Structure formats: structure tokens, C-alpha cells
Amino acid sequence: MDTLKASFSAGCFWGVEQEFRQVKGVVNATVGYSGGHTQAPTYEQVCAGTTGHAETVLLEYDPALVTYDQLLDKFWELHDPTTLNRQGPDVGEQYRSIIFYFNEEQKLAALASRDREQKKLNRRIVTEIIPAVAFWRAEEYHQRYLEKHGGAAHC
């Protein structure tokens, strides 16, 4: 099986990871940090807002079972893409909305998906759509956090 990658930031990565793990065709979901300027940041550094990173989920998926467009639909469903640097009670640039694309096809799909979502919401979407950059795996205790500790999908 050949898998592809997708990467999204949509607020607290615990809930985003848990939701994507339930999508048939998602082979793996890893939480971490991306989009910033600090090498190998820690959770504490990211939470302090000094690294520029966002809490991010890196997916490996089987394109025979789930399409990138379906993953984009799930991304929009999981959060409010019209709030800048905030999701629910979580505030800070580490909670901003981002689609990281790995190739031109993903970029075009993300832009088209955003435009469709924009028409539905009738409010300005602030989601960044940018090339995939370094992804720093979060500390082990963050991986599958809600699965290990229980809790709602949206933290």
C-alpha cells in the first residue's frame, strides 16, 4: 500500500488527531508542531507563543480508501476557520488554522476547497494554505492523548 501525507492545524491537536484517526483510510496520525522558526520546539515553548509554530497533525493516508478532498472536508468540519489564532477557549497563534500542502495538486485542491467553504460560511476564512515545512513530532505523552486519557474529541 502506497500512502500519501497530509498536514493540518485546526486548534488543539489532541481532538484533531482523534477525529482524523476515525476516518477510514487514515493509516496514521501524529501530533506535532509546524509552521514556526524554532528548531525542535517543546510543548512549553510552543504554548508560550515564542516559536511561531502551530499545533499540527501529520496524516498518512491510503488514497485508495480516502481522498485528499475528503480529508479537506473533515478539516473544515473540525473547527471554525474564521477565527484568527483561536479555537474555542484556546487562544494563541499555536491554534491557528493551516493547511500544509505537499505538492501542487494538494495546493490547488486546498484553494478550491477553501473557496467552496467560503461561499457556504459567508464569512472570511483566515486559514493559511502554505507549503509543508519541517514537522516536529510532539512529546510522546501528546500522541493519542485523548485515547489514553479519555475525553471529548474537541478539547
Q: 27 in a domain, yes or no?
A: yes
Close Cβ partners of 100 (under 8 Å, ≥ 6 residues apart) = 7, 8, 9, 34, 35, 56, 130, 131, 132, 133
Structural domain total, the chain? 1
Which structural domain, as residue segments, surrounds residue 30? 4-149
Q: 155 in a domain, yes or no?
A: no
Q: 139 in a domain, yes or no?
A: yes
CB atoms within 10 A of CB 129: 17
pTM here is 0.94
Give the single-character DSSP code of 58: E
- Interval 108-120: pLDDT, tens: 999 999 999 999 9
Q: Is 124 exposed, middle or buried (0-12, 13-18, 19+ CB in 10 A)?
A: exposed
- Interval 49-84: pLDDT, tens: 999 999 999 999 999 999 999 999 999 999 999 999
CATH number of the domain bearing residue 61: 3.30.1060.10
Active site residues: 12
